[in-house]
Structure 1
Amino acid sequence: MLLNKQKKNQNAKGNRLLITINVLGSAGPIRFVVNENELVAAVIETALKSYAREGRLPVLGSDIGAFLLYCPHRATDALSPWESIGSQGGARNFMLCRKPQPMKVKEADEAAETLNRNKGSGSWKAWFNKSIKISSH
């Protein structure tokens, strides 16, 4: 009878999932238990707090709006912060990444200039032919 009450309480709250979140640039994953009805934004917040509490590097900060959570089953699309973590069809492994920062016009011009400067004269074939001169005696 006690077991039935526990199952009913669990179903009322939703199932709990042990999830693994890999943080790009970190040495190992973070694991914690969440409710399957938990929003992705709350999961990101919990992951950032756990990451900071463990003193991991690189330091990520606590701005949940600066991060995206990816699921390997959804290809390259990041999860919406407003969907539940359990809506991923039983997925338990996720990847936490910083949102890409848009490049400013000045930075883009500098990057293009650097690329042109490094290009040099000629292609890699010309460089290769200059490097491997075979002399005949």
Structure 2
Amino acid sequence: MMLLYNKQKRNQNSKGNRFLVSINVLGSAGPIRFVVKEDETVANVMVYALKSYTRERRLPVLGSDIHDFVLYSPYSAAEALKPWEMIGVTGSRNFILCKKPETGEVGESKSSTPLVTNRKTSGSWKAWLNKSLALMIPSH
């Protein structure tokens, strides 16, 4: 009887592969690591990452609204992952979470300084991403 119970329990746990993800938050000291299912959506992974970030009292303080953030994969760094995509489809286990850039309206009376700042910010995260990717590629 106990043997049958253990087999059923193993079969329930084997539904859906799990893997360890590592999410680097732009501006934070180190990555957040946790286990997710392959069929988990990107939005759910972002929610869990933000909760873990807050629980660990990391700096800078980010907030918890996932609509203010984007998740990038090193394989498609030019384009953010869609929130409804499955995390396992990306083929990556390492991700970068950063705030969405603020966009200025054309008809606004503000100066163009925020747009210049956004360009500098996006350039710095791209440089950081390229540097990080270079470190992950083996030299031989």
| TM > 0.5 | yes
Gaps of 5+ in 2: 117-140
Change in Cα spacing, 1:111 to 1:73, as seen in structure 2 (3 Å) is: same
1:56 counterpart = 2:58? yes
Secondary structure of the structure 1 residue equivalent to 2:50: helix
Figure out how many residues of one structure are paired with residues of the other and give that number.
Answer: 110
Greater than 6 Å deviation, 4+ residue runs: none
CA RMSD of aligned residues (A): 2.2
Q: Tell me the equivalent position of 1:27.
A: 29
Radius of gyration: which is bigger?
1
Q: Tell me the equivalent position of 1:124.
A: none
Q: Give 2:109's match in structure 1, choosing from 92, 96, 106.
A: 106
Q: TM-score normalized by structure 1?
A: 0.71
The alpha carbon displacement at 1:46 in A equals 0.3
Q: Tell me the equivalent position of 1:16.
A: 18
Gaps of 5+ in 1: 115-137
The alpha carbon displacement at 1:36 in A equals 1.0
Q: Tell me the equivalent position of 1:75.
A: 77
Distance in 2 of aligned mates of 1:98 and 1:34: 22
Secondary structure of the structure 2 residue equivalent to 1:77: coil
Q: TM-score normalized by structure 2?
A: 0.70
Deviations 1:92-122 (A, max 9, x none): 1000010111124333x3529x9xxxxxxxx
The amino acid that maps onto 1:95 is I
Change in Cα spacing, 1:23 to 1:5, as seen in structure 2 (3 Å) is: same
